[in-house]
């Protein structure tokens, strides 16, 4: 999966949780602009950020990345 798809998944799950970009950025301790770049696919999250994002959105990391078997790959 490429950065753009990952970013779209992160954005979609964030919106499902009714969380703003600013709220998630605060949890990740990054600037909102940094999170925006991740959601647009300009930057990829680090492994630590992947874990933090999954925890903040209350989903499993594999689900966030779309790597669970039989799971839809794009949200």
- pLDDT for the residue numbered 74: 47
| Residue 1's pLDDT band (cuts 50, 70, 90) | low
Q: List pLDDT tens digits, range 31-48.
A: 999 999 999 999 999 999
- pLDDT for the residue numbered 67: 76
Which residue shows structure tokens 């954005």? 11
* Lookup: tokens for 17: 């949780």
Domains delineated in the chain: 3-63 (1.10.260.40)
| Residue 2's pLDDT band (cuts 50, 70, 90) | confident
Which residue shows structure tokens 């999966």? 1
Q: What is the mean pLDDT of residues 62-67?
A: 88
- How far apart (Å, rounded) are the C-alpha atoms in residues 6 and 42? 11
- pLDDT for the residue numbered 62: 92
């Amino acid at each position: 999966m490429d950065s753009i798809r990952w970013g779209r998944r992160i954005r979609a799950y964030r919106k499902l949780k009714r969380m703003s970009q600013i709220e998630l950025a605060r949890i990740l301790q990054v600037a909102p602009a940094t999170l925006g770049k991740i959601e647009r696919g300009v930057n990829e999250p680090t492994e630590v950020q992947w874990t933090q994002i999954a925890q903040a959105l209350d989903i499993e990391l594999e689900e966030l990345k779309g790597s669970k078997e039989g799971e839809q790959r794009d949200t």
